[in-house]
Amino acid sequence: MDAKEIIARRVARELRDNTLVNLGIGLPTLVARYVPEGMLVAFQSENGIIGFGARPPEGMEDPNLTDAGGGFISALPGAFAFDSATSFALIRGGHLDMTVLGGLQVDAKGRLANWKVPGRMVAGMGGAMDLVAGAKRVVVAMQHAAKGEAKIVPELTLPPTAARPVSLVVTDLAVIEPTADGLVLRERAPGVAVEEILAATAAPLILPDTIPEMPL
């Protein structure tokens, strides 16, 4: 199982029946593949639809039906399409149960940075600032480190996406929960030792008595 699949499978276990969930572009999109059997999750795409499905077969795409990354999608029976103001009213208004976002950095306070690397890359925040400010739960799905450089750091060095801390961080090595006392190491990936996680993490981690392997 590769790093992305570990992350997507573990995040999928955070899904709950009959909820509205927004998946960010990239890695978070993979979570939709691992919805537990029999569970009904409505996925929102911020560009204006709830209840979308997989890309249609070649030649059956609709140019007016795409996801937030511009890829073709399908509309499931019962889907609802809407404008951008409605989409973000759903996100900010407490109607979105969970969002899954990619991350460049998370710090000891649980703050996320994911939209700009000053001097190198300016993507823009798109919907990320609204999602972190408004969703009931914010789950960050990201690689634990980038090219050997820690992404979980004592204090953000990149511009923050919001002041509000995220709810959970899922990486290819660990599940980490930001709390008022600091970052708590909740789970480790199969076969990964606590020491390995500590070595790849720049921020201090609180270690409970038991740190089980993550269920996948």
Partner 1 sequence: MRRKALTPAEAAALVPDGASVMIGGFLGVGSPRRVIDALVARGAKGLTVIGNDTGRPDLGIGKLVSAGCVAKVIVSHIGTNPVTQQKMLAGEMEVDLVPQGTLAERIRAGGAGLGGVLTPTGLGTSVAEGKQVVTVDGRDFLLETPLRADVALLHCYEADYYANLTYRLTAQNFNPVMAMAADIVIAEPDEVVPIGVIPPDHVRTPGILVTHLVERPQ
Binding region for partner 1 (CB under 8 A) out of 4-12, 116-124, 174-182, 202-210? 116-124
Which of 39, 123, 146, 198 touches partner 1 (CB under 8 A)? Answer: 123
What backbone torsions phi and psi does residue 4 show, to the nearest 5 degrees?
-65, -40
Q: Does 24 bind partner 1 (CB under 8 A)?
A: no
Tell me if residue 46 is catalytic. Answer: yes
Lookup: tokens for 161 = 């996406």
Asked if residues 75 and 52 have their Cβ atoms less than 8 Å apart, the reply is yes
Terminal CA-CA length for the chain: 10
Question: Catalytic residue among 37, 46, 58, 177, which?
Answer: 46
Give the x-and-dash track for 71-100 against partner 1 (CB under 8 A). ----x-----xxxxx-xxx-xx--------
Q: Which amino acid belongs to residue 81? A: A
Q: For 160, what's the count of Cα atoms within 13 Å in the CB-facing half-sphere?
A: 17
Burial class (CB in 10 A: 0-12, 13-18, 19+), 82: middle
Q: Does 66 bind partner 1 (CB under 8 A)?
A: yes
CA dihedral for 13, 43, 132, 93, sign (positive or negative):
negative
Which of 2, 147, 163, 208 touches partner 1 (CB under 8 A)? Answer: 163
Classified as helix, coil or strand, 159 is: coil
In this complex, which beta carbon is closest to partner 1, that of residue 11 or of residue 115? 115
Which of 105, 161, 171, 201 touches partner 1 (CB under 8 A)? Answer: 161
Binding region for partner 1 (CB under 8 A) out of 3-11, 53-61, 144-152, 162-170? 162-170
Q: Does 22 bind partner 1 (CB under 8 A)?
A: no
Lookup: tokens for 97 = 């149960």
Give least dist CB 196 to partner 1, A.
32
Asked if residues 101 and 141 have their Cβ atoms less than 8 Å apart, the reply is yes
Q: What is the largest CA-CA distance in the chain?
A: 55
Which of 3, 34, 117, 126 touches partner 1 (CB under 8 A)? Answer: 126
Residues that bind partner 1 (CB under 8 A): 45-49, 62-70, 75, 81-85, 87-89, 91-92, 111, 121-130, 133-134, 159-164
Active site residues: 46
